[in-house]
Amino acid sequence: MSGTLPQNLLVTGGCGFIGSNFVRFWLSRHPQCRIVVYDLLTYAGRQENLADCWAHPNLQLVIGDISNQEQVLQVCQDHAIDLIINFAAETHVDQSIVRPLVFTETNVRGTHVLLEVARELEIRFHQVSTDEVYGHVPEPQQRLEQDALSPRSPYAASKAAADQLVQAYFITYGLRVTTTRGSNTVGPYQHPEKAVPLFSTNALLDRELPVYGDGLQQRDYTHVHDHCTGIEAVLLHGQPGEIYNVGTGAEIANLEMVAVILDTLGKDHRLVKHVKDRPGHDRRYSVNVTKLRALGWVPQYTCQQAIAETAQWYAGHADWWQPIREGSFRQYYQEQYSARLPDTGA
């Protein structure tokens, strides 16, 4: 695919966390491209995430569901789309434990609908996946792209199913597909249900940080900027039918992630509260990123730098996260944490 830069991109889930960061990044790197953001604007997809970008002449928003085949087809035809990048997904493991069917609907069926439209119109397709499809990775192993999938949460299982569909469309129909499997991504505009923004905003509010279990689970916390440059490298230089891991390649324990947040924000480590663990909690994710590096990609951040910069962003953007925390998120927080943090009015 080297050398051919698509001109008209459909970015599904472009108002979500990684999607909105990608749109901003892509507009700055390739301002001549036209981007149609296709987003259902559910709780994590927010127009505000691109408030600074909507005035760009090559950006526009269509509100819609990736499971709506007719609408997706229409939008792709109307805008002569030559690349679909699928960021649209339900992504939070804890939510998938409580309401798993929504994950199958959006992540599996939605991806399948996009693939069908891509097949019909012969559009290139990029799937944004996750390292969680590999499941728990025992030390000192790292997962390679060709390794077996072993998802263990409804979320991870839905993403694994979608990955398999993407590969099937390459093998069966010769559709030009690529996939990236990103590790835990952090940075601006991540909804506060996820660990790093939850802990950052709780710390800023002087509330306890609910660390699941012993906090020794390990994750590869990658800055969203590096995730975006990784996808860019694959779009520009990746091979059709190939999958590429994206991550720093070096994971850290959750307790270290928490310590970086508290130190960055100058908060007391006694805010850490060990609480009841998540069912089926994967102990460790770890990916080998040699294949992506071979495309010339070089990550800029370590896990610690990514987390520190993210905590600082939350410290400076209460105007963005406070309305979210005070809105429908309150009910989720109650349901998820009231038994775990009974003394804090969670």
Q: What is the 3-state secondary structure (H, E, C) of 42-92?
A: CCCCCHHHHCCCCCCCCEEEEECCCCCHHHHHHHHHHCCCCEEEECCCCCC
Give the range of 59-67, 159-167, 206-214, 296-304 binding ligand TYD by CB under 6 A. Answer: 206-214
- For residue 210, state whether it binds ligand TYD (rule: CB under 6 A): yes
User: Residue 117 or residue 341: which is nearer to ligand TYD going by CB?
Assistant: 341
- For residue 43, state whether it binds ligand TYD (rule: CB under 6 A): no
Q: Name which of 228, 217, 222 is nearest 185 in CA terms.
A: 222
**Smallest distance, ligand TYD to C-beta of residue 137, A:** 12
- For residue 324, state whether it binds ligand TYD (rule: CB under 6 A): no
User: Residue 176 or residue 219: which is nearer to ligand TYD going by CB?
Assistant: 219
- For residue 211, state whether it binds ligand TYD (rule: CB under 6 A): yes
As a residue count, the chain comes to: 346
**Smallest distance, ligand TYD to C-beta of residue 142, A:** 16
Annotated catalytic residue 208? no
- For residue 299, state whether it binds ligand TYD (rule: CB under 6 A): no
Q: Name which of 135, 165, 155 is nearest 147 in CA terms.
A: 135
Give the range of 15-23, 68-76, 190-198, 244-252 binding ligand TYD by CB under 6 A. Answer: 190-198
Instruction: Name the active-site residue from 65, 132, 226, 232.
Output: 132
- For residue 198, state whether it binds ligand TYD (rule: CB under 6 A): yes
Which positions touch ligand TYD (CB under 6 A)?
Answer: 93-94, 132, 184, 194-195, 198, 210-212, 217, 219, 254
Which residues form the catalytic set? Answer: 131-132, 155
